[in-house]
Amino acid sequence: MDMARALRSITLRRLAIATVLVMGAGYGLAFLYAPEDADQGFIQKIFYLHVPLAIVALVGFIVAGLLAIQHLRTGDSKWDARSYVSIHLSVIFGVGVLLTGAIWAKGSWGVWWEWREPTLVSFLIVFLLYATYYPLRYAIEDRDRQARYASVFAITAGAFVPLNFAAVRAAQPLVHPRTFSDAGGLPGSMLLAFLVCLAGMALLWVTLVRFELTSKRASGDLKRIRRALGGGDGPPSPARSIAPVATSAMSQMRAEGRR
C-alpha cells in the first residue's frame, strides 16, 4: 500500500482525535514533566507553543510550494487547492507565532517587538510576503490563470523560506535564542516535551488542512449539483472566487463551459 493511499484512508475524525491526544500529551508533558528553565523560569513554557507553531508554519509554506509544483506539472486543480489551503493555514499559524512571540518578548525582554533582532524581522518579512498571496490571487479573474500565477508565487516564496532561515542562522543574534544551535542545548525531558508538542502542532495543521479541503469540496459539489438541477448560481463572482474549489467537480464544470 503506497503512502498516499495510506494517508487518504485516515479519516478526518481519526486525525482530529489523534491531534487532541498528542497535543494533550505534549502540553501535559510541557507543564507537568519538563522542568522549568533555569535562566528564564516559568515564562519559557511559551517555547512549547511558539516554536512548534513557527516550525509548522514555515514547513507549511514549503509544503505549499511543493504542492504548487505538482499543480504546474499536472494541471490538476486539486493540487492548487491543496497549496492554497496550506498557505492559508500557515498564515493563520504565522499570526499565532507573531502574537505569542510578542507576548514572550514582552515577558522576557520587556518589549513587544525588537526591530534589531533578525529572527523576528525575518519572520515578519516571510509573513508579509505570504499576506500578499491573497490580493495577488483574487486580483485575477480567470480561474486557470489565477491558479497558475498563485502556484508560481507559492513556489518562489516557498524557496525563499529556507533561504531566509539559513540567512537568519548565519546572522548575529541580538537577543533571540537559537533553538537547537548548541549541542545538548535542551535537556532530555524538555526535548521530549517539545517533540511531542511539535508532533501535536503538525497534526493540528494537517487536520485543519483536511477539514478546510473537505469543506471546499462540499461547496464545490453543491454548486455542481445546483447547476445540474437547473438552480443556477450564476457565474462565479471574481471577488468571492473562493479560489480553488478543489474538486473534480469544478474542473468538470469548467470543461463543460468550454464545450
Binding residues for other proteins (CB under 8 A): 40-43, 45-46, 49-50, 53, 92, 95-96, 99-100, 103-104, 106-111, 114, 174-175, 208, 211-212, 215, 218-219, 222, 225-226, 229-231
Cβ atoms of residues 217 and 53 within 8 Å: no
Q: Which is nearer to other proteins, 80 or 212 (CB)?
A: 212
Q: Which is nearer to other proteins, 95 or 125 (CB)?
A: 95
Cβ atoms of residues 128 and 52 within 8 Å: no
Q: Least Å distance between CB 150 and other proteins?
A: 20
Q: Least Å distance between CB 75 and other proteins?
A: 27
- Quote the CA–CA distance of 96 and 84 in Å, as a whole number: 19
Cβ atoms of residues 45 and 31 within 8 Å: yes
Q: Least Å distance between CB 3 and other proteins?
A: 27
**Backbone angles phi and psi of 139, in degrees to 5:** -80, -15
CA 66 to the chain's CA centroid: 13
Q: Least Å distance between CB 157 and other proteins?
A: 22
Q: Least Å distance between CB 140 and other proteins?
A: 23
- Cβ-proximal residues to 39 (8 Å cutoff; 6+ apart), any chain: none
44 is written with which cell numbers? 519559557
DSSP letter for each residue of 58-79: HHHHHHHHHHHHHHHHH--HHH
Q: Which is nearer to other proteins, 100 or 122 (CB)?
A: 100
105 is written with which cell numbers? 518578548
Q: Least Å distance between CB 229 and other proteins?
A: 5
Q: Which is nearer to other proteins, 84 or 160 (CB)?
A: 84
Q: Which is nearer to other proteins, 110 or 235 (CB)?
A: 110
Q: Which is nearer to other proteins, 92 or 199 (CB)?
A: 92
Q: Least Å distance between CB 10 and other proteins?
A: 20
223 is written with which cell numbers? 454548486
94 is written with which cell numbers? 504565522
Of 172, 153, 187, 184, the closest CA to residue 65 belongs to 153
Q: Which is nearer to other proteins, 33 or 74 (CB)?
A: 33
Q: Least Å distance between CB 216 and other proteins?
A: 9
Q: Which is nearer to other proteins, 70 or 248 (CB)?
A: 248
- Alpha carbons within 13 angstroms on the beta-carbon side of residue 138 total 11
Sign of CA dihedral 32, 33, 34, 37: positive
